[in-house]
Structure 1
Amino acid sequence: MIDHSTPPAGVLVGVDGSPATAGAVRWAAREAARRHLPLDLVQVLPPSERPHDELRSPSGRAHALLEQAHQVAVATAPEVPVRLSVVDGVAGPSLVATASRARLLVIGARPGTGLADMGVGRTIAHVMGHAPCPVIVVPPDWEPAEDEASRGVLVGVDGSAEAVGAIAFGADVADRSRSTLVTVSVTPRLDGPDEETRRRYLAEAGAGIATTHPDLVVQEVLRRGAPSEALLDVARSGVSLVALGSRGRGAVGGALLGSTSQQVVRFAPCPVAVLPPRAAATWARPERTYAGEGA
């Protein structure tokens, strides 16, 4: 019998039946295999009289939907143990609560409706701003690339405290996938820090990478223009993942989700990892370790 009394401590995927669910499960299963972690597939059902945020075994239509996702996971990484669960509540807060011990939270993006629609959706916005772990948003039409090892992991670096956590997470993913870490700093066209300051941002954010990942190849890129446009331009050149903080440099405490992270998530051609404040702080600590997570 599956134990639903303990919260996920591996890779958690929010399953909702959208076109992006299959891609989200594929990405999560591959990453769970790399990290030697279990996979939790969770569907959030509408609020009911049951206790909110309490995992339980699925039944009926919920079980059928989760079983479809389970088959995708098995086809992708058959060695990864999978648990299927449902929880009652509002999607965003329930996923955040369920992810209290998770290493990663993976969710599918909603399909784009044009440049005028710059939002990422209420659920995604909430988890990107509040989750205790990195949040990976997978585009609706994403498929794993055969040449993933030759594609870099892009990290946006802006001198913020969250950028330190983002670069640590990006380096970890790049090292596990044997790819290059591409750190990008962008100077706005009209104002902003000069090139020397931007280079300092890159150096400070990646100061510990050589120690934690001595064999990792790091490529530093300086761009000028709107941050989101510049990051998307680099991403379209062929990267496997974009990682960045949920807030930009200078964001006030209440601004849990910056415009750059929203636009990159909205239009990136690849999965985007967003580190909310708590997750960024965890990953920024040099002594960060996760028991049970393989090398």
Structure 2
Amino acid sequence: MSEMTTEPVVVVEVDGSAEDLRVVDYAAAEALRAGAELVLVAPYSAHSSFSPMTPGYPPKSPAELADAAVRAAVAHVRHRDGYGVQLAGITEEGSRLRVLAHVARKARMLVIGRSRSRGPQRVVQTQANLTLVVRAGCPVVVVPLSWKPTLLDRKVAVGIDGTALSAEALEFAFGIAASREADLIAVHAGVPAEPAFSDEDPECSWISRADHILSENLAPWTSRFPQVRVTRFLSGRQPAAALVHESGDVGLVVVGAHGGALPIDPVTRRAMAAMTCPVAIVPHRVTKAARAGRRTDVMIGGDS
């Protein structure tokens, strides 16, 4: 079992837009439930072509605009939630990727908005957010700009593939479900392979194997979070399609992702681009022992 080492901090990116305040609302609700500090971050670039004398440019510098965005977000949270949540505001010069990854290191979660863009722009934005997941090293929650609190927030879905990627995703999903007093839907999907033995042998059926995977992965967390009601969902669809379909009936979908230099799983990539609800991408932390073992496997494979 893997334990995530985090600090009681929820970090949210702010950009000063009216739509962005819905993302701030989401982050504030998570901070309130967790008893965590809410840190509002506005990265800005000092290398823009800003000039107060140039027609068409706003009358403020990038640093001033970032500061105004943070102040507006703080005022919005105070007006909506009072002083129930501790707030901090940060404006920092640098790329969005570097600043957010630095501030969110070891945070409970980083909350960002999902662009309304379509086509190639959506692909570019998704790739940038996936890179942020790897760099930040903490769960990243991508929230649609159209998000509003609904009764669906009382349902959380988590994808389980039976690999090490599921460990941190399950820990995060159970923690969120417990804080929301929500039901948890454990999703295991995949196209059933041709059976190696007779169809009459239930132990060799895909359903039996899938149910065994769920039982094995859920056991440590159901005992730790007995108050969370868990529903198992087995699907013969491709994993990404099953999770996207499930996203229409829940308030959050949680998936695991490789951390470090390993490529992002295509299921995670599609989840960030296509889901209709907030999606949490939880990076898997590879231990030193596992990393050393992987290196050994590569060396042995190279010698053969």
**What TM-score does the superposition give when structure 1 sets the normalisation length?**
0.78
TM-superposed CA distance for 1:129, in Å, is 2.1
2: distance between equivalents of 1:271 and 1:21?
14
Q: Say whether 1:267 aligns with 2:274.
A: yes
Q: Decide which of 86, 108, 111 is 1:106's aligned counterpart.
A: 111
What's the counterpart of residue 96 of structure 1?
A: 101
Aligned residue type for 2:276? P
Q: Say whether 1:215 aligns with 2:227.
A: yes
Whether contact under 8 Å (1:131, 1:279) holds in the other structure is no
More helix by percentage? 2
Instruction: Say which SS state the counterpart of residue 276 (structure 1) adopts.
Output: strand
Instruction: Say which SS state the counterpart of residue 182 (structure 1) adopts.
Output: strand
What's the counterpart of residue 23 of structure 1?
A: 22
TM-superposed CA distance for 1:160, in Å, is 1.7
Q: Say whether 1:67 aligns with 2:62.
A: no
Aligned residue type for 1:201? I
Instruction: Say which SS state the counterpart of residue 232 (structure 2) adopts.
Output: strand
1: distance between equivalents of 2:152 and 2:130?
31
Provide the aligned length of Structure 1 versus Structure 2.
258
TM-superposed CA distance for 1:191, in Å, is 6.9
2: distance between equivalents of 1:222 and 1:280?
30
Q: How does 1:236-255 map onto structure 2 within 5 Å?
A: 236=248, 238-247=249-258, 254-255=261-262
Gaps of 5+ in 2: 1-6, 48-61, 196-204, 289-304
Distance 1:218 1:145, change over 3 A: same
Aligned residue type for 2:190? T
Which has the higher mean CA deviation after the structures are superposed, 170-179 or 123-132?
123-132
What's the counterpart of residue 10 of structure 1?
A: 9
Whether contact under 8 Å (2:8, 2:34) holds in the other structure is no
TM-superposed CA distance for 1:18, in Å, is 5.3
Aligned residue type for 1:273? A
Instruction: Say which SS state the counterpart of residue 40 (structure 1) adopts.
Output: strand
Whether contact under 8 Å (1:228, 1:263) holds in the other structure is yes
What's the counterpart of residue 154 of structure 1?
A: 157
What's the counterpart of residue 240 of structure 2?
A: 228
Which has the higher mean CA deviation after the structures are superposed, 9-18 or 79-88?
9-18
TM-superposed CA distance for 1:108, in Å, is 0.7
What's the counterpart of residue 174 of structure 2?
A: 171
- Kindly provide the CA deviation profile for residues 85-128 of structure 1, in whole angstroms up to 9, marking residues without a partner as x: 11122211221111123211111111141599545434312122
Q: Percent identity?
A: 27
Q: Decide which of 206, 213, 218 is 1:201's aligned counterpart.
A: 213
2: distance between equivalents of 1:20 and 1:188?
39
1: distance between equivalents of 2:286 and 2:16?
27
Gaps of 5+ in 1: 1-7, 49-57, 282-295
Whether contact under 8 Å (1:156, 1:244) holds in the other structure is yes
Instruction: Say which SS state the counterpart of residue 25 (structure 2) adopts.
Output: helix
Aligned residue type for 2:272? V
Which has the higher mean CA deviation after the structures are superposed, 197-206 or 11-20?
11-20
Aligned residue type for 1:80? V
TM-superposed CA distance for 1:75, in Å, is 3.8
- Kindly provide the CA deviation profile for residues 35-61 of structure 1, in whole angstroms up to 9, marking residues without a partner as x: 11111101111256xxxxxxxxx9622
Which has the higher mean CA deviation after the structures are superposed, 165-174 or 62-71?
62-71
Whether contact under 8 Å (2:186, 2:214) holds in the other structure is yes
What's the counterpart of residue 82 of structure 1?
A: 87
- Kindly provide the CA deviation profile for residues 236-289 of structure 1, in whole angstroms up to 9, marking residues without a partner as x: 1x2111001124xxxx974332111121121212111101123999xxxxxxxx
Whether contact under 8 Å (2:16, 2:66) holds in the other structure is no
1: distance between equivalents of 2:228 and 2:235?
22
Whether contact under 8 Å (2:39, 2:88) holds in the other structure is yes
What's the counterpart of residue 36 of structure 2?
A: 37
What's the counterpart of residue 291 of structure 1?
A: none
1: distance between equivalents of 2:231 and 2:252?
15
Distance 1:108 1:280, change over 3 A: farther
Whether contact under 8 Å (2:142, 2:278) holds in the other structure is yes
- Select the structure with the greater relative contact order (CA < 8 A; seq sep ≥ 6): 1
2: distance between equivalents of 1:253 and 1:146?
36
Instruction: Say which SS state the counterpart of residue 44 (structure 1) adopts.
Output: strand
Distance 1:27 1:139, change over 3 A: same
TM-superposed CA distance for 1:188, in Å, is 2.3
What's the counterpart of residue 293 of structure 2?
A: none
Whether contact under 8 Å (1:133, 1:278) holds in the other structure is no
Aligned residue type for 1:244? V
2: distance between equivalents of 1:280 and 1:245?
16
TM-superposed CA distance for 1:173, in Å, is 0.6
1: distance between equivalents of 2:276 and 2:230?
22
